[in-house]
């Protein structure tokens, strides 16, 4: 009964979403206040029924109802309850439901926090999001019904959740990632609404900026968690693979990065207006494209869900309607007159333009690399894929290219600036960073390492610009005193995110360059030294988990006789699937990780073991965390809350929205 | 209205066409022309011994030919199952695809070696003749030495039971360690 109720709730949500997609849009065209006023209630209605469907599916999982196909395929009675719950989104059908739930959550958030906006705008934004919801609810109901039953042949027990996904990281990684993915539908909807209304001005940019920043922040956090999970769960210490599914989330992030910066220019100076709209459309389109790539089976990947061409066709048609429709609207309605705002070649506008160029080119580069197998196939040139070498060769220089400008950006002035002033601000400390970079590169290893020198130089340079800017803002109090007044949330958020970017670059380069690893055969009592660390295998044993049996090895790690860590890597065999998993043991510190993974047993008393020393690998995720949190912080800026005062008088009349 | 504002729309149309074509070509499908054909001949070195080998080295049949590389992390996921299969008596030949031989040897030393032998295909030319899409991929070589089946992606027990067991009827599923009576 419960699954059927869930199915009904999903159908009701679908009907309400159709109402949301049609009625307020019609109202906006006819200036019908009553119709437009229905938008927030309809949005909340969709959310409630999707939430009910989601909760009922969760109940089926928790109650081990193996008559439900997705539960039987992805859960097991022995699975710990928390994983029974997260198994809900460890598969195509359930994760799609999560997608829709998060989309409707964003709709409700927009309905709640946009009361100060003109009614027409709110109606159109929610209606556009409603259209997206219609598409995904139809996708779920028609091709991927999560409530499908296996009757009368109900299995006695489930197939179990893929052991790779039985991990705390995977409980929160998909929801965070989807928050970002789906959140990009908000700036998209604002852009479409603005195009429809023909008002592409600063106020549109100001309204969508906080939403964009929050969505992009979640996307950063989601990608970070995915990378961290791969690092400790796949058991060999890699942290980024340029896998099609990783790229699927990375492309919207790159486009989002351009969008976040372009919106700043549009809001503050009214420049790049058409371009910003285009970026908003592209960022969400790439989210949809990612969904297509992951779920259609056109590209192979370990992350990919079960391939199904029928589903692929559905998303492709949906993609064509949404993206094609938006770009057609853009072509017809984007302002054809170039903005009258002038800025010189040396100004903050120009620097933001460089950011936009670099990140757009990076997106295209990753897109081409990801779709390369399809392109080759389409021209019958054989089945190929480009590997990580391509991505590294193209992507790394692009990031290095943008960093010199990153330090200058926050210090620069809008409209017109001088290179003399930039030199004055940054030359002397810049030389200092150069010296530090060279010295550190010698310290890190025996030989001079050019890559580390470059990374320290670029990251230090970015940090320098940030600190200079921070100081400039603080040290403007009266009588040379300090003032904190100018440290607004949006400034602090940007500062944090830029520092985070520098940390990611530093971590990535140092761990790639200075990583040490050794593959060994070790028996009890064997000792091995890696750098300053002495690893001793103390004992071997077995341990039974709730749904697996693990071989364990106990290692003691010492440095100068002092015990640093006891590490217990495992090799698990999961009972239901018979799958074998490597659980690496990691001693994590700010400056280095020690990483032990078990390979295969060799004879009775020995194992193949991989020991790794990974300097500064934590900086990657700390940096990404800073980027994500920084983006979230900016949304608390006061000026986003006092929106009503900026609404032109002509639209004030219909600004009150019933909620 | 300006023509250049249609550029994004046109670019997207091209992309959508490409994606549509992508849907109709299943990357996991063996090109029909190769199915039932003999395994393409090659002259490569064997990964461990370094001796020159040709297709005649793949003598024990039916057998699996597994395409793998150290840069492929799905291969790592797949590897333990290959070891299980080898233990159960399935002959497996490796095609070490576009890889560094030193790294590949280190991998086998650490993770265990399920392969009868490994064709070292550094340039990817054997892979090209075979129509390899990426790693991992697994082919079935039937008793006559013809390519009988192709699987793209990780080979696991479920896939083996479904698609491979008719060539290897002797492979028994491994005993399950714990029953459902283990409680919640």
Residues of A in contact with B135 (CB under 8 A): none
- What backbone phi and psi angles, to 5 degrees, belong to B117? -160, 165
Cα separation of B111 and A610, whole Å? Answer: 10
Q: Which of B1, B80, B154 sits opposite A302 (nearest CB)?
A: B154
Domain ranges for chain A, please list them: 1-161, 163-407, 408-514, 516-618
Residues A455, A619: Cα–Cα separation, whole Å: 13
B19 in A contact zone (CB under 8 Å): yes
Q: In the predicted model, is pLDDT for residue A365 greater than 80?
A: yes
Of A238, A316, A577, the CB nearest to B23: A316
User: Is A547–B73 a contact, with Cβ atoms under 8 angstroms apart?
Assistant: no
Which residues make beta-bridge pairs with A448?
none
Distance from C-alpha of A264 to C-alpha of B67, rounded to nearest angstrom = 49
Least confident range from A14-18, A122-126, A175-179, B27-31: namely B27-31
Which token pair is A340?
């009258």
For A431, residues 6+ apart whose C-beta sits below 8 A from its C-beta are none
- Answer yes or no: are the C-beta atoms of A475 and A482 closer than 8 Å: yes
- pLDDT tops 50 at residue B183: no
Residue B37 C-alpha, separation from nearest chain A C-alpha, in angstroms: 18
Residues in chain A: 659
Compute the average pLDDT of residues A215-241. 88
What are the respective helix, strand and coil percentages of chain A, to the nearest 5?
A: 65, 10, 25
User: For residue A129, what are its two tokens?
Assistant: 């999001």
Strand segments (E) across B51-161: 52-53, 63-68, 92-97, 117-121, 137-141, 147-152
Distances in Å between the Cα of A23 and the Cα atoms of A16, A48, A131, A196, B123 are: 10, 19, 11, 16, 60
Q: What is the pLDDT of residue B172?
A: 59
By percentage, how much of chain A surpasses pLDDT 70? 91
Does residue B62 have a cis peptide bond before it, meaning omega lies within 30 degrees of 0?
Answer: yes
Beta strands, E only, A506-635: 516-523, 527-530, 533-544, 548-559, 562-567, 570-574, 580-583, 585-588, 592-602, 606-615
Q: Render pLDDT for A97-128 as a digit per residue (tens, 0 to 9).
A: 999 999 999 999 999 998 889 999 999 999 99
Q: Is B16 part of a structural domain of the chain? A: no
Best of A378, A542, A595 to mutate (most B CBs within 10 Å, chain B): A378
Cβ contact A122:A42 at 8 Å: no
The whole-number pLDDT of residue A477 equals: 62
> Taking Cα atoms as reference points, which of A155, A145, A10 lies closest to residue A91?
A145
Tokens of A128: 């556009």
Backbone angles phi, psi at A127, to 5 degrees: -65, -40
Spatial distance between the Cα atoms of B152 and B133, rounded to a whole number of angstroms: 8
B106 at the A interface (CB within 8 A)? yes
Phi, psi of A352 (to 5 degrees): -65, -30
Residues of B in contact with A81 (CB under 8 A): 184
* Look-up of token digits 């949006």: A490
**Which residues of chain B lie closer than 8 angstroms to A388, CB-CB?**
71
Specify which of A218-227, A284-293, A414-423, B148-157 reaches the highest per-range mean pLDDT.
A218-227
Residue A609, min C-alpha distance to chain B (Å): 7
CA distance A210 to A218: 12
> What tokens does A427 get?
């030359």
Q: Is B102 within 8 Å of chain A by CB?
A: no
Omega before B136 cis (within 30°)? yes
Contact: B156, A579; criterion CB under 8 Å: yes
Q: What is the pLDDT of residues B41-97, one digit of tens each?
A: 888 999 988 889 988 888 888 999 999 988 776 788 788 899 999 988 899 999 998
**Closest of B120, B152, B157, B121 to residue B139, by C-alpha:** B152
Q: Kindly identify which residue of chain B lies nearest to residue A571, measuring between CA atoms.
A: B80
Do B12 and A580 count as a contact with CB atoms less than 8 A apart? no
In B37-96, the residues whose Cβ lies within 8 Å of chain A are 71, 73-74, 76-77, 80-81, 83-84
Q: Do A549 and B178 touch (CB under 8 A)?
A: yes
More confident call, A486 vs A37: A37
Residues B5, A274: C-beta atoms closer than 8 Å: yes
Distance CA B150, CA A353 (A): 48
Dihedral sign (CA B133, B137, B142, B148): negative
Nearest CA in chain B to A163: B77
Give the B window 134-173 contacts with A, CB below 8 Å: 134, 152-154, 156-158, 173
Which is it for the CA torsion A402, A351, A251, B12, positive or negative? negative
In this prediction, residue B32 carries a pLDDT of 46
Q: How many CB atoms lie within 10 A of CB A340?
A: 7
Q: Which residue of B has its CA nearest to A160?
A: B180
How would residue B176 be classed by pLDDT, with cut points 50, 70 and 90? very low
- pLDDT class of A494 with cuts at 50, 70, 90: very high
Those residues with Cβ within 8 angstroms of residue A548's Cβ, 6 or more apart along the chain or in another chain: A163, A572, A573, A574, A575, A581
Given a contact cutoff of 8 angstroms between Cβ atoms, the answer to whether A600 and B112 are in contact is yes
Mean pLDDT throughout A349-378? 89
Chain segment A28-87, per-residue pLDDT in tens: 999 999 999 999 999 999 999 999 999 999 999 999 999 999 898 888 888 899 999 999
A24: three-class secondary structure by DSSP = helix
Q: How confident is the model at residue A553 (pLDDT cuts 50, 70, 90)?
A: very high
At residue A564, the 3 state secondary structure works out as strand
Number of domains making up chain B: 1
Looking at mean pLDDT, say which of A114-123, A211-220, B121-130, B145-154 comes out highest.
Answer: A211-220
Closest of A529, A512, A530, A246 to residue A369, by C-alpha: A246
- Are B77 and A238 an interchain contact pair (Cβ–Cβ within 8 Å)? no
Residues B80-108: b if buried by 16+ CB within 10 A, e if exposed: bbbbbbbeeebbbbbbbbbbebeebbbbb
* For range B2-30, the mean pLDDT: 78
Nearest by CB: A327 against B12, B132, B158: B12
The answer to whether the Cβ–Cβ distance between B98 and A327 falls below 8 Å is: no
Residue B11 covered by a domain? no
CA of residue A313 relative to chain centroid, distance: 25
Nearest to B2 among A281, A320, A336 (CB): A336
- Strand pairing of A533-544 and A548-559? antiparallel
Instruction: State whether residue B21 sits within 8 Å of chain A by CB.
Output: yes
Beta bridge partners of B139: B65, B150
Give A561: exposed, middle or buried? Use CB within 10 Å, 0-12, 13-18, 19+: exposed
DSSP symbol at A78: T
Question: If DSSP codes are grouped into helix, strand and coil, which group holds residue B68?
Answer: strand
B29 touches chain A (CB under 8 A): no
**Phi-psi label, residue B36: left if phi above 0, alpha if psi -120 to 50, beta otherwise:** left
What chain B residue is nearest to A305 in terms of C-alpha separation?
B153
Please report the pLDDT score of residue A340 as a whole number.
Answer: 67
Nearest to A298 among B19, B77, B183 (CB): B19
pLDDT at A579 (0 to 100) = 75
Residue B76's CATH number: 3.40.30.10
Query: Contact A285/B12, CB-based, under 8 Å?
Result: yes
Predicted confidence at residue A240, as pLDDT, reads 87
**Comparison of pLDDT for B25 and B1, the residue scoring more:** B25
Q: What pLDDT score does A39 carry?
A: 95
Tell me if B21 and A378 make a contact (CB, 8 A cut-off).
yes
Contacts of A181 (CB under 8 A, 6+ apart): A99, A219, A222, A249, A252, A287, A290, A291
Using a CB-CB distance cutoff of 8 angstroms, which residues of chain B are in contact with residue A387?
Answer: 71, 98
State the nearest Cα–Cα gap between B27 and chain A, in angstroms: 7
- Pairwise CB contact (< 8 Å): A374 & B111: no
Contacts of A356 (CB under 8 A, 6+ apart): A258, A261, A262, A272, A275, A279
Helices (H) and strands (E) counted in chain B, each on its own, are 5, 7
Asked if residues A549 and A527 have their Cβ atoms less than 8 Å apart, the reply is no
* Strand pairing class (B147-152; B137-141): antiparallel
Confidence of residue A506 (pLDDT cuts 50, 70, 90): very high
Partner-chain contact A298 B23, CB within 8 Å: yes
- B8/A330 Cβ within 8 A: yes
How far does CA B39 lie from the centroid of its chain?
Answer: 14
Element counts in chain A: helices (H) and strands (E): 20, 10
**Residue A648 binned pLDDT confidence (cut-offs 50, 70, 90):** very low
Closest residue in B to A606 (Cα) is: B110
Tell me the H-state helices in B98-148: 101-111, 125-130
Q: Which chain B residue is nearest to residue A312, measuring alpha carbons? A: B23
- The reply to whether residue A300 touches residue B98, judged by beta carbons under 8 angstroms, is no
Nearest chain A Cα distance for residue B91, angstroms: 19
* Domain of B126, in residue numbers: 33-170
A533: phi then psi, degrees, rounded to nearest 5: -105, 140
Which run of H or of E encompasses B150? strand B147-152
- Whole-angstrom distance, CA of residue A540 vs CA of residue A524: 7
End-to-end CA distance of chain A: 34
B14 touches chain A (CB under 8 A): no
The answer to whether the Cβ–Cβ distance between B73 and A243 falls below 8 Å is yes
Task: Name the CA dihedral angle for B95, B98, B101, B105, rounded to a multiple of 10 degrees.
Answer: -50
pLDDT of residue A256: 96
pLDDT tens track for A115-165: 889 999 999 999 999 999 999 999 999 988 999 988 777 888 888 887 878
**What sign does the dihedral B91-B146-B160-B46 (CA atoms) show?**
positive
- Nearest chain B residue to A609 by CA: give it: B110
Is B132 inside a domain boundary?
yes
């Amino acid at each position: 009964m419960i699954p059927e109720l869930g199915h009904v709730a999903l159908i009701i949500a679908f009907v309400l979403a159709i109402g949301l997609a049609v009625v307020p849009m019609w109202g906006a065209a006819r200036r019908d206040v009553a119709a437009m006023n229905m938008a927030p209630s309809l949005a909340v209605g969709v959310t409630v029924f999707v939430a009910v469907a989601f909760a009922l599916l969760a109940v089926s999982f928790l109650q081990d109802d193996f008559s439900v196909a997705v539960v039987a395929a992805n859960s097991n009675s022995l699975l710990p309850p928390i994983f029974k719950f997260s198994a809900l989104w460890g598969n195509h059908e359930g994760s799609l439901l999560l997608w829709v739930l998060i989309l409707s959550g964003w709709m409700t958030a927009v309905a709640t926090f946009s009361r100060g906006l003109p009614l027409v705008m709110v109606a159109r934004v929610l209606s556009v999001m409603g259209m997206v919801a219609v598409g995904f609810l139809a996708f779920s109901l028609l091709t991927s019904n999560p409530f499908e039953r296996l009757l009368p042949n109900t299995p006695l027990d489930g197939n179990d959740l893929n052991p790779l996904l039985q991990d705390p990281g995977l409980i929160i990684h998909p929801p965070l990632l989807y928050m970002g993915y789906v959140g990009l539908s908000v700036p998209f909807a604002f852009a479409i609404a603005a195009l429809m209304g023909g008002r592409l001005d600063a106020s549109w940019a100001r309204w969508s900026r906080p939403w964009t920043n929050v969505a992009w922040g979640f996307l950063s956090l989601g990608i970070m968690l995915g990378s961290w999970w791969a690092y400790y769960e796949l058991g060999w210490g890699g942290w980024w693979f340029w896998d099609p599914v990783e790229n699927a989330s990375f492309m919207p992030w790159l486009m989002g990065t351009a969008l976040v910066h372009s919106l700043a220019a549009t809001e503050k100076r009214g420049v790049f207006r058409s371009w910003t709209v285009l970026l908003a459309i592209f960022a969400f389109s790439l989210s949809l494209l990612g969904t297509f790539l992951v779920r259609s089976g056109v590209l192979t990947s370990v992350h990919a869900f079960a391939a199904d061409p029928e589903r692929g066709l559905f998303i492709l048609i949906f993609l064509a309607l949404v993206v094609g429709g938006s770009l057609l609207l853009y072509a017809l309605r984007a302002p054809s007159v170039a903005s009258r705002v002038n800025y010189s070649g040396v100004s903050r506008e120009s620097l933001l333009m460089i950011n936009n160029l670099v990140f757009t080119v990076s997106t295209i580069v990753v897109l081409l690399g990801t779709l390369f197998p399809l392109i080759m196939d389409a021209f019958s040139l054989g089945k190929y894929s480009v590997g990580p070498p391509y991505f590294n060769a193209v992507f790394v220089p692009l990031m290095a290219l943008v960093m010199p400008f990153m330090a200058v950006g926050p210090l620069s002035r809008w409209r017109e600036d001088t290179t003399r002033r930039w030199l004055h601000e940054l030359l002397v400390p810049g030389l200092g960073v150069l010296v530090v970079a060279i010295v550190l590169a010698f310290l890190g290893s025996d030989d001079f390492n050019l890559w580390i020198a470059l990374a320290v130089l670029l990251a230090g340079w970015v940090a320098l610009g940030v600190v200079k800017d921070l100081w400039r803002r603080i040290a403007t109090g009266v009588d040379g005193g300090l003032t904190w007044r100018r440290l607004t949330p949006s400034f602090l958020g940007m500062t944090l995110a830029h520092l985070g970017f520098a940390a990611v670059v530093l971590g990535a380069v140092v761990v790639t360059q200075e990583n040490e690893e050794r593959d060994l055969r070790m028996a009890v009592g064997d000792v091995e030294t890696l750098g300053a660390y002495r690893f001793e295998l103390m004992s071997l044993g077995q341990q039974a988990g709730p749904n697996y049996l693990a071989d364990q090895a106990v290692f003691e790690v010492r440095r100068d006789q002092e015990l640093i860590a006891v590490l217990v890597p495992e090799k698990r065999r999961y009972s239901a699937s018979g799958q074998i998993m490597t659980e690496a043991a990691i001693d994590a510190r700010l400056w280095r990780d020690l990483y032990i993974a078990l390979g295969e047993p060799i004879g009775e008393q020995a194992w193949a073991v991989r020991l790794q020393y990974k300097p500064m690998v934590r900086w990657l995720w700390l940096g990404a965390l800073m980027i994500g949190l920084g983006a979230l912080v900016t949304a608390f800026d006061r000026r986003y809350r006092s929106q009503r005062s900026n609404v032109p008088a002509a639209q004030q009349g219909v600004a009150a929205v019933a909620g | 209205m300006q023509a250049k504002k249609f550029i994004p729309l046109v670019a997207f149309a091209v992309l959508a066409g490409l994606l549509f074509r992508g849907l109709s070509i299943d990357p996991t499908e063996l090109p029909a022309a190769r199915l039932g054909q003999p395994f393409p001949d090659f002259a490569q070195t064997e990964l461990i011994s370094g001796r020159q080998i040709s297709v005649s080295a793949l003598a024990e049949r039916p057998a699996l030919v597994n395409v793998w590389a150290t840069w492929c992390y799905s291969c790592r996921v797949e590897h333990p199952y290959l070891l299980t299969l080898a233990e159960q008596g399935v002959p497996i030949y490796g095609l070490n695809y576009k890889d560094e031989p030193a790294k590949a040897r280190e991998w086998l030393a650490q993770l265990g070696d399920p392969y009868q032998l490994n064709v070292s295909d550094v340039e990817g030319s054997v892979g090209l003749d075979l129509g390899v899409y990426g790693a991992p991929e697994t082919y079935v070589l039937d008793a006559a030495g013809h390519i009988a089946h192709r699987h793209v992606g990780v080979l696991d027990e479920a896939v083996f039971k479904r698609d491979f067991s008719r060539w290897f009827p002797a492979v028994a599923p491994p005993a399950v360690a714990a029953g459902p009576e283990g409680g919640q």
